[in-house]
């Protein structure tokens, strides 16, 4: 299963609200493979806490023939098309796409790290992930998505946005 996390907390000129931008991003991702499922959208505060607007987040599962590194390049291209400029870490953004898992592969190169190295600490990834893959198991730790959610700190609320 290929899993991609989506997030946004700024509107775009082309699509408008973060939710509309995320829906458009899902359509763009469908251009590089088949979107098999999409979670609900979740609302979460920025991490670390700041005066930025809240984020809208979700996860999709995708089927594609692209290998992981090429898929990541396409993901970055989509972000760029939406106006994403990579700069300051944890800044507000019009679109954030993260390759979370690629068929359980464990990869660590200069270009890509799979599974995503911080996913297990992010409720805004794990809660939507559970929506579409409730039996998913972390390829390194062997923990289920529910076990990872149970370990999350309580101070980062993430609630359904729809």
Sketch the domain layout of the chain as residue ranges. Answer: 2-160
Q: Which of 38-47, 81-90, 135-144 has the lowest mean pLDDT?
A: 81-90
Q: What is the mean pLDDT of the chain?
A: 91
Pick the catalytic residue from 54, 63, 98, 131. 98
Question: How far, in Å, CA of 67 to CA of 129, rounded?
Answer: 21
Length of the chain: 162
Q: Dihedral angle at the C-alpha atoms of 34, 69, 134, 153, nearest 10 degrees? A: -140
Judge whether 147 and 55 are in contact, CB under 8 Å.
no
Q: pLDDT: is 64 or 12 the higher one?
A: 64
Read off the tokens for 25. Answer: 């991003």
- pLDDT band for position 159 (cuts 50, 70, 90): confident
Q: 118 catalytic, yes or no? A: no
Residues linked to residue 8 through DSSP beta bridges, in sequence order:
56
Q: 96 catalytic, yes or no? A: yes
Q: What does the pLDDT read at residue 116?
A: 92
What are residue 99's phi and psi, to 5 degrees?
Answer: -80, 110
Pick the catalytic residue from 38, 93, 122, 130. 93
Q: 3-class DSSP state for residue 2?
A: strand
Q: pLDDT: is 140 or 153 the higher one?
A: 140
pLDDT of residue 88 exceeding 60? no
Q: 98 catalytic, yes or no? A: yes
End-to-end CA separation in angstroms for the chain = 25
Q: 131 catalytic, yes or no? A: no
- pLDDT band for position 52 (cuts 50, 70, 90): confident
Question: How far, in Å, CA of 126 to CA of 143, rounded?
Answer: 12
Nearest to 60 by CA among 31, 92, 17: 31
Pick the catalytic residue from 38, 51, 96, 101. 96
Pick the catalytic residue from 38, 40, 51, 84. 84
2-160 falls under which CATH superfamily?
A: 7,8-Dihydro-6-hydroxymethylpterin-pyrophosphokinase HPPK (3.30.70.560)
């Amino acid at each position: 299963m290929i899993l991609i996390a989506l997030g946004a907390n700024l509107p775009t000129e082309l699509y408008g609200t973060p939710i509309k931008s995320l829906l458009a991003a899902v359509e763009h991702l469908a251009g590089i493979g088949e979107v098999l499922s999409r979670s609900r959208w979740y609302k979460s505060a920025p991490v670390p806490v700041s005066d930025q607007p809240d984020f809208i987040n979700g996860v999709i599962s995708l089927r594609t023939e692209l290998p992981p590194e090429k898929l990541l390049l396409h993901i970055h291209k989509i972000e760029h098309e939406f106006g994403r400029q990579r700069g300051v870490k944890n800044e507000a953004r019009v679109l954030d796409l993260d390759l979370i898992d690629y068929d359980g592969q464990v990869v660590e190169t200069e270009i890509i790290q799979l599974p995503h190295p911080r996913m297990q600490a992010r409720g805004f990834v794990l809660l939507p992930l559970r929506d579409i893959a409730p039996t998913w198991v972390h390829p390194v730790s062997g923990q289920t998505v529910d076990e990872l959610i149970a370990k999350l700190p309580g101070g980062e609320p993430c609630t359904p946005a729809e």
